[in-house]
Amino acid sequence: MAAAGRIRVLLVEPRRIYAATVARHLRAGGFAVEVAYSPGAALTGLRERDPDVVVVGVGTQGLGTAMLDRIRQETQVGVVALSDGDITPLLVSTGVVCVGDIEALNVRIRLALRRCGVGGEPRGGGHGDETHRREIGDLRIDVAARRVFLRDEPLPLTRTEFEILCTLAESPGEPVTCRQLQLSLWGDASDGGRSTLGVHVGNLRRKLGEDPHSPRYLRTVRGTGYCLTG
Q: What angle (nearest 5°) sits at the alpha carbon of residue 133, between those of residues 127 and 135?
A: 120
130-226: CATH topology is Arc Repressor Mutant, subunit A (1.10.10)
For 57-97, write each residue's pLDDT tens digit: 876 555 666 777 777 777 778 888 877 655 554 444 555 55
What pLDDT was estimated at residue 191? 65
This prediction's pTM: 0.61
What pLDDT was estimated at residue 28? 87
Give the integer Cα–Cα distance in Å for 216 and 122: 30
Residues 138 and 150 sit within 8 Å (Cβ to Cβ): yes
Hey, which CATH number is domain 6-114, 3.40.50.920, 3.40.50.2300, 1.10.1040.10, 3.40.50.1220?
A: 3.40.50.2300
With a cut of 70, list the residues of the chain below it in pLDDT.
Answer: 1-5, 59-65, 84-103, 115-132, 187-192
